Structure 1
């Protein structure tokens, strides 16, 4: 059970990162659950930082 939860949260982070790299807004987060939403936003923020470094 713990592994399944971790995998879902990892997936949310990865999807947030991909959205950030694509330049999408953080309001585009598809998750409503607080835990998944926070991981998605964490990935999105990491992507924004990476985009700033590359630019």
Structure 2
């Protein structure tokens, strides 16, 4: 059971990162659950930081 939860959180973070790299707004987060939303936003923030370094 814990492995499935971890995989969901990892997937949410990866999707947030992809959204950030694509330039989407953080308001576009598709998750409503707090845990998944926080992981998605964490990935989004990581992407924004990486984009700033590359620019």
Which TM-score applies when normalising by structure 2?
A: 1.00
SS of residue paired to 2:50: helix
Q: Shift of residue 22 of structure 1?
A: 0.3
4+ residue runs of structure 1 moved beyond 2 angstroms?
Answer: none
Q: Shift of residue 23 of structure 1?
A: 0.3
Q: Shift of residue 46 of structure 1?
A: 0.1
Summarize deviations over 1:7-53 as a string: whole Å, max 9, x none: 00000000000000000000000000000000000000000000000
Unaligned runs of 5+ in 2: none
Q: Alignment length, in residue pairs?
A: 55
Matched, 1:25 2:25: yes
Which TM-score applies when normalising by structure 1?
A: 1.00
RMSD: 0.2
